[in-house]
Amino acid sequence: MTTDAELLEAVAAIVGSDAVLSGEAAAPHFKDWRGRYTGKAIGMVFPSDTQQVSEVRIKRAVIALLPQTNLAGYSLA
């Protein structure tokens, strides 16, 4: 079984460590703009292109991805 840290490390190897946030650094991204709702995730990834998204999905097929736009209630889940 892969730990959260190992998973984030594997993703960082694909997208670069500067494109992966976790812990307190990622926390602001899990709140809606009103501050009423907070989501939960092990991290936040900022891929630079669709190739990186594809590589993350291929290498780690168990990762659930939720595209996030502006937290205005419009997501493709």
Q: How confident is the model at residue 60 (pLDDT cuts 50, 70, 90)?
A: low
φ and ψ of 45, to 5 deg = -120, 135
Within a domain: residue 40?
Answer: yes
Within a domain: residue 34?
Answer: yes
The CATH number for 43's domain is 3.30.43.10
φ and ψ of 35, to 5 deg = 80, 15
Residue 22 to residue 72: CA distance in whole angstroms: 22
Within a domain: residue 75?
Answer: no
The answer, yes or no, to whether residue 33 has pLDDT greater than 90, is: no
- pLDDT on residue 71: 55
3-state secondary structure of 63: coil
Look up the domain containing 37 and give its range: 4-59
Q: What is the reported pTM?
A: 0.70
Q: What would the mean pLDDT of 32-43 be, rounded to a whole number?
A: 84
Question: What's the pLDDT tens digit per position in 12-32?
Answer: 999 999 999 999 998 888 888
Within a domain: residue 13?
Answer: yes
